[in-house]
Chains A and B, each alone.
Chain A
Amino acid sequence: MSADVHQEVFIQEATELLQELEQSLLELEDDTLNMDLVARVFRAMHTIKGSGAMFGFENIAALVHSIETAYDLVRNGKLDITKPMLDYSLKSCDIIREMLGDPSMKADSPLAMEIVAFFSEAGGIKQPQQKPKEKEQENKLLKSSNLKTYRVTFRAPQDILLSGINPELLVKEVAELGEASISAQTTYMPELGEMEAEKCYTFWEIILTTDKTENDIRDIFIFVEDDSDLKVTLIDDFTGGSENLKKIGEILVEKGDISQDALMGLMQERKMFGEILIEKGLITKEALDSALNEQLHVRQIRDQKAVVENISSVRVPSEKLDFLVDLVGELVTVQARLGQIAVQENNQEMLKVAEEVERLVWELRDNTMSIRMLEIGSTFSKFKRLVRDLSAELGKEIELIVHGGETEIDKTVIEKLGDPLVHLIRNSIDHGIETPQERVAAGKPAKGHITLTATHSGGSVLIEISDDGKGINKEAVLKKARANGIVSETAELPDKEVFELIFASGFSTAETISSVSGRGVGMDVVRRNIESLRGTIDITSTQGKGTTITLKLPLTLAIIDGLLVVIGGQFYIIPLSLVNECIEFNAAKNRSSSGRRIIMVRNEIVPYVFLRDFFQAEGEAPEIQQIVIIEIDGRRVGFVVDSVVGDHQTVIKSLGKAFKDIECISGASVLGDGSVALIVDVFKIYTEIE
């Protein structure tokens, strides 16, 4: 393992931390008193600094140090969050990102110096204020490695109250060190008549799980230790497994409540053990309750710790996952072959096995796919920063609202989705949302909204980018399209087609080219990107009300449901998610007089194309062919094929570099019998025949 490998891991970790940091900072902007967020910011800064210095990023450590100090003060309620503080923090995220790419970059750029100076100053001014105390984080405690459980027995002198000490406060102080179970013991309580109101007869037993030391616990009792009976005993340091938990008898013996001999003598009897002890008058009910309490506490903490440890995830390089997906793909192929052979042989035993294998492989496939699924929320949250910065630059007030961040989608799809989404959101900010003045004049609230929504829809994910801006100006679009020669001067188009013009290359309606958008490259690239993901893009807009762009994307790119068809003896696959229906097609019957290739399907005119001609297949077409009706962008198109075989679990293989220029075929898949089926790129064919 070279140092580079570690550096690589750090860069990966830091990049994730930065993202989390940015999100926390942005949330903090809305909720400056949220101490949980402050703690998150501090932790992220702290980790970046600490690991940075270890892996050769002294520059990052130098930059982050002053920021971390400032947030530590905030965390301790000694400093207030201010707007400049957040601005500088966000700027520092950018610098850290640059530094991650270039470890030799010094932390002495003017901006970096400015940031360090700002935070050093902020860190110097202490403004004590009453702040909500940071909540003790149980999970954090449970994750601690040097966790120990102590039994603290505290018996105060009876006149403790007369020295001004409230023993309850001491007990509470102990409990605040960690996770505690407190039991108050009344063994020394006299009869009611002999009781003196000012005396303290109770003693306490606290079972405390903490990462603090015995000395820390004893420190609490500093004023009373001399006169009190204080015992601090280590009872569990989480080294053994749960099965080694102490038995109730062991605890009692250890505490001196019962002797080992007496215990052994009773071990023979078959009653509830604690009850026997009480019956025999060897221990009091309280002593038993307290011991039971201790046992329960240790068990609960262990259980909780186990849960926390189970929740924590494993970090695996994505290549390993990709490889796993490849293997599963191969397995699916082999399984199909096994199934086919079993059917051919008509071997009942083998069929049984084949079915079992099929079930397992499908489960394995679904599981493997789900590992690669990521929540889209992390991608969405990146855009908060984009919206914040851009709207400030353009003098607009815009809020980004995110719905469905928990929607899961394949990692590879998410990776390729980033750029198109950035582009679409930029468009909404630049072209969609008006300036506050314009909005108020139009009777809308000054603040514009962009809503990002992700939802599942069958085998697809729908991502909607919707703004409440001015909408698309149809006239302007048409005018521009005519001027650019994209449509003829006289052509009148339905709304939908007008909107789609903005996806044409070389099209931009912004009057001036800003730094944000308007260069006319963009929407066509967006569409190409989405289509390369086998997705579709749809646009609706109401003038004055806003624009909504809907992306429909497949859940995964590795394995799809396909429709297996045959053309000229060769297998082809059409993505099943696009297929509407299959109907019989009689070429002789359907030959239209005009020679145009259209067919009436349920009273709807559907244009069709002969894939046989398209792929220049050999041989004669059969008399009765099949027509596969596909829906793209809300329009139906028929593809005529020789015959339809049925649905097929399609493991997508790329065709390799030599075939990368082949259009209309997006990949290939291996069939059960080992032959190859080509995957038809229906979008390409669709645009080709348009």
Chain B
Amino acid sequence: MAKTILTVDDSASIRQMVKFTLSKEGYSIIEASDGQDALTKIGGVKVDMVITDLNMPNMDGITLIKQLRAKPEFRFTPIIMLTTESQDSKKTEGKAAGATGWIVKPFQPEQLVTVTKKVLG
């Protein structure tokens, strides 16, 4: 069965790029525009992986990661954060919140595929 990936980003173009790249690899994609939107969209769906931006309106990525990790069904789910800045502070903050790994923007579609395969197996 195709694995489901949730992409959370306020930029429609990034979401589209993630969706385009990963659906070609056979994943099914759910899109959400921010943390709040993401939390409403995961109800009733099994999500195998989350790719989230950090800076978003309404609910930012760090908060989203914390909220997700608090849910039993998301305890072991890989969560990848997209960071525009490669500063360690954000990375550490994200990791502390429970992020699995990170991709630094701008990134190439191949990088996205590599990381996805890495954490999803």
Contact = CB atoms under 8 A, between A and B. Distances in A.
Nearest to B69: A162
B98 A162 contact: yes
Task: Pick the 4 closest A-B CB pairs, nearest first.
Answer: A164-B100, A223-B101, A164-B78, A169-B121
Chain A interface category by residue count: 10 to 19
B90 interface: no
A164 B77 contact: yes
Nearest to A166: B121
B52 to A, nearest CB: 12
A173 interface: yes
A130 interface: yes
B76 A164 contact: yes
Nearest to B99: A163
A56 interface: no
A163 B80 CA distance: 10
Contact of A198 (B75, B95, B100): B75
Contacts, number: 42
Interface string A405-433: 00000000000000000000000000000
A582 interface: no
Interface string A140-168: 00000000000000000000011111100
A369 B46 CA distance: 70
A163 B100 contact: yes
B118 A164 contact: no
Contacts of B69: 162
23 contacts: A128-B24, A161-B75, A161-B76, A162-B69, A162-B98, A163-B98, A163-B99, A164-B77, A164-B78, A164-B98, A164-B100, A165-B78, A165-B101, A165-B119, A166-B76, A166-B121, A169-B118, A172-B121, A173-B118, A220-B118, A223-B101, A226-B95, A227-B95
A220 B76 CA distance: 19
Nearest to B74: A164
B79 A164 contact: yes
Nearest to A223: B101
Interface string B92-106: 000100111110000
Interface residues of B, number: 17
A223 B78 CA distance: 11
A222 B101 CA distance: 8
A376 B102 CA distance: 58
Interface of B: 24, 26, 69, 75-79, 95, 98-102, 118-119, 121
A222 B77 CA distance: 18
B26 A164 contact: no
Given A166-B119, A169-B118, A198-B75, A130 B99 contact: no
Given A172-B121, A223-B102, 17 more contacts: A161-B75, A162-B69, A162-B98, A164-B76, A164-B77, A164-B78, A164-B99, A164-B119, A165-B100, A165-B101, A166-B78, A169-B118, A173-B118, A220-B118, A223-B100, A223-B119, A227-B95
A355 B38 CA distance: 93
Contact of B76 (A162, A169, A227): A162
Contacts of A226: 95
B41 to A, nearest CB: 19
Contacts of A130: 26
A458 B32 CA distance: 79
Interface string A67-88: 0000000000000000000000
A168 B6 CA distance: 23
A449 B98 CA distance: 67
Nearest to A222: B101
B117 to A, nearest CB: 9
Given A128-B24, A130-B26, A223-B101, A163 B119 contact: no
Contacts of A166: 76, 78, 119, 121
Given A164-B77, A198-B75, A222-B101, A169 B24 contact: no
A125 to B, nearest CB: 15
Given A130-B26, A198-B75, A223-B101, A163 B121 contact: no
Interface string A218-238: 001011001100000000000
Nearest to B88: A226
B100 to A, nearest CB: 4
A223 B114 CA distance: 13
A226 B24 CA distance: 33
A198 B72 CA distance: 12
A173 B119 CA distance: 10
A227 B118 CA distance: 18
A127 to B, nearest CB: 11
Nearest to A165: B100
Contacts of B78: 164-166
A163 B76 CA distance: 6
B1 to A, nearest CB: 15
Contacts of B101: 165, 222-223
Contacts of B79: 164
Contacts of A222: 101
Contacts of B76: 161-162, 164, 166
Contacts of A223: 100-102, 119
Contacts of B100: 163-165, 223
B95 A169 contact: no
A227 B24 CA distance: 34
A222 B103 CA distance: 11
Contacts of A220: 118
Interface string A455-480: 00000000000000000000000000
A223 B118 CA distance: 10
A173 B117 CA distance: 10
Contacts of B121: 166, 169, 172
B27 to A, nearest CB: 12
A161 B69 CA distance: 11
Among A163, A165, A227, the most chain B Cβ lie within 10 Å of the Cβ of A163
B83 to A, nearest CB: 13
A162 B119 contact: no
B119 A169 contact: yes
A165 B121 CA distance: 10
A220 B26 CA distance: 23
A128 B98 CA distance: 34
Contacts of B95: 163, 226-227
A226 B96 CA distance: 12
A578 to B, nearest CB: 69
